Amino acid sequence: MTDTDIKKGLAGVVADTTAISKVNPETNSLLYRGYPVQELASTQSFEAVAYLLWNGDLPDETQLAQLRATERAYRHLPAEVRAAIDLVPLDAHPMDEVRTALSLIGAKDLAGTGSVLDVSGSTEENLARSVRLFAVLPAIVAYGQRRRRGQQPVEPRDDLDYAANFLWMTFGEESDAVVVDAFNRSMILYAEHSFNASTFTARVIASTLSDLYSAVVGAVGALKGPLHGGANEAVLHIFDEIGSAENVGPWLDEALAQKRKIMGFGHRVYKRGDSRVPTMKAALDTLVEHYDRPDVAALYDTLESEFVGRKGIYPNLDYPSGPAYNLIGFDTLTFTPLFVAARVTGWTAHIMEQLGSNALIRPLSAYNGPDERHIDGYVPDAAAL
Ligand code: SDX
As a whole number of angstroms, the distance between CA 291 and CA 308 comes to 27
| Phi, psi dihedral angles at 23 (to 5 degrees) | -100, 120
Name the residue at shortest CA distance from atom 41 of ligand 1: 261
How confident is the model over 317-363, as pLDDT tens digits? 999 999 999 999 999 999 999 999 999 999 999 999 999 997 899 99
How confident is the model over 117-157, as pLDDT tens digits? 777 889 999 999 999 999 999 999 999 999 999 999 999 99
Residue from 261, 279, 344 to probe ligand 1 pocket by mutation (most atoms less than 8 Å from CB): 261
H-helix or E-strand spanning residue 38:
helix 37-43
In whole numbers, what is the pLDDT of the chain averaged over residues?
A: 95
* Largest separation between any pair of C-alpha atoms in the chain: 77
What pTM did the predictor assign? 0.95
Domains identified in the chain, total number: 2
Q: Confidence band (pLDDT; 50, 70, 90) for 385?
A: low
Q: How much is the average pLDDT of 259-285?
A: 95
73 inside domain? yes
373 inside domain? no
Q: What is the CATH number of the domain that holds 85?
A: 1.10.580.10
Q: Are residues 304 and 344 in the same domain?
A: no
Domain residue limits at 31 = 20-224+336-356
> Which of 53-62, 77-86, 109-118, 225-234 comes out lowest in average pLDDT?
109-118
287 inside domain? yes
User: Which atom of ligand 1 has the smallest separation from the CA of 194?
Assistant: 4
Q: What is the CATH number of the domain that holds 320?
A: 1.10.230.10
Q: Are residues 168 and 244 in the same domain?
A: no
Q: Are 212 and 348 in contact (CB under 8 A)?
A: yes
Quote ipTM for the complex.
0.97
> How many Å lie between the centroid of ligand 1 and the Cα of residue 59?
35
Ligand 1 lining (C-beta closer than 6 Å): 193, 196, 227-228, 231, 261-268, 313, 316-318
156 inside domain? yes
Q: Are residues 113 and 142 in the same domain?
A: yes
218 inside domain? yes
Surface-to-core class of residue 226, CB atoms within 10 Å of its CB (0-12 exposed, 13-18 middle, 19+ buried): middle
